[in-house]
Amino acid sequence: MLQQTRVEAVIPYYRAFLERFPTIDALAAAPEHDVLTAWSGLGYYSRARNLHRAAKQIASAGVPAAYEDVLALPGAGPYTAAAIASIALDLPHAAVDGNAIRVISRLTNDASEITAPDARRRFAAEAARLLDPRRPGDFNQAMMELGATVCLPRVPRCSSCPAEKFCAARAAGTEREVPVRLTKKKARDVSLDLAILERDARVFLVKRASTERRLADFWEFPGKHLFPRLKGTKLAEFRHRIVNDRFRITVWHIETGKVRAANLPPGDWVGIAELDRIPLTTVAKKALAARLARQVS
């Protein structure tokens, strides 16, 4: 859950998820629909699908005992596998995430571009050299915490850093110049108008295809462009970002008496009280919140 997501946003999802799926067997036995519903609003839904698949694999083959076994789980790359192997299994593998790379880049005053393969290998090798094999989980978590709270990207808190006297970048006065990262891909602005059609405490939703690259099988509100002749009432405007797309979203409420059933796209009417039982996109959740916050005449 913490991949690409802030701790504050994760905590309530984490607690609710563990309450709903308290064991690996419980998660493995759950339908994917239920797993996605529990993850709904957290984003990056391939994580939920991979976690579900990994639970099924563990329920079938047993708990991994080695780093290679963890790495073979769906969705587990080198960093995730090293983190699990060290923290859960007490195995000596360095977990090198963005925070660890920043710490190591400054400790060694390495001005290499951090996405370059050679630089990545050097950072990983240095992390493995520094790792305390007696307490690998504690070491990895300490590196993550140091990067997240002290060795910050733009304004490092060097005077509070327990590793300041070992830091080559601090000694050279280059702590704000490393690590080096090339300019990210420019974000794209996208306008999106959504229509909330409502009747008898139900709203109309459409389901994304199973073949979609993003948000497959999730439910969302239809676009207002499907009803070009209907003006509707503007409920809210908000922004939402997915990777490099910055969405500027406008939510409209349309009277269903003005919409003929034949003009509706394939979809379903769902009771508002039942929406927490289906996987909704994060945008749909925000649009629904805007609707519930306002009375519509």
pLDDT at 152: 96
Please list, in sequence order, all residues whose beta carbon lies within 8 angstroms of the beta carbon of residue 17, skipping any fewer than 6 positions away. Answer: 1, 38, 39
Per-residue model confidence as pLDDT tens digits over 205-260:
999 998 887 888 999 999 999 988 888 899 999 999 887 889 999 999 987 777 77
Per-residue model confidence as pLDDT tens digits over 31-83:
999 999 999 989 889 999 999 999 999 999 999 999 999 999 999 999 999 99
Percent of the chain scoring above 70 in pLDDT: 98
Separation of alpha carbons 178 and 154, rounded Å: 9
Domains in the chain (CATH in brackets) are 7-172 (1.10.1670.10), 188-292 (3.90.79.10)
Question: Quick one: tokens of 288?
Answer: 């629904």
Q: How many CA atoms lie within 13 A of 195 on its CB side?
A: 21
C-alpha 37 chain-centroid distance: 15
Q: Is 228 exposed, middle or buried (0-12, 13-18, 19+ CB in 10 A)?
A: exposed
Q: Whole-prediction pTM value?
A: 0.79
pLDDT at 295: 66
121 three-state secondary structure: helix
pLDDT at 296: 60
Q: How far apart are the first and last CA of the chain?
A: 39
Per-residue model confidence as pLDDT tens digits over 103-112:
999 999 999 9
For the CA atoms of the chain, what is the radius of gyration? 24
pLDDT at 262: 63
Separation of alpha carbons 30 and 118, rounded Å: 42
Lowest mean per-residue pLDDT among 85-99, 147-161, 176-190, 233-247: 176-190
Separation of alpha carbons 209 and 140, rounded Å: 40
Separation of alpha carbons 209 and 238, rounded Å: 25
Separation of alpha carbons 110 and 288, rounded Å: 48
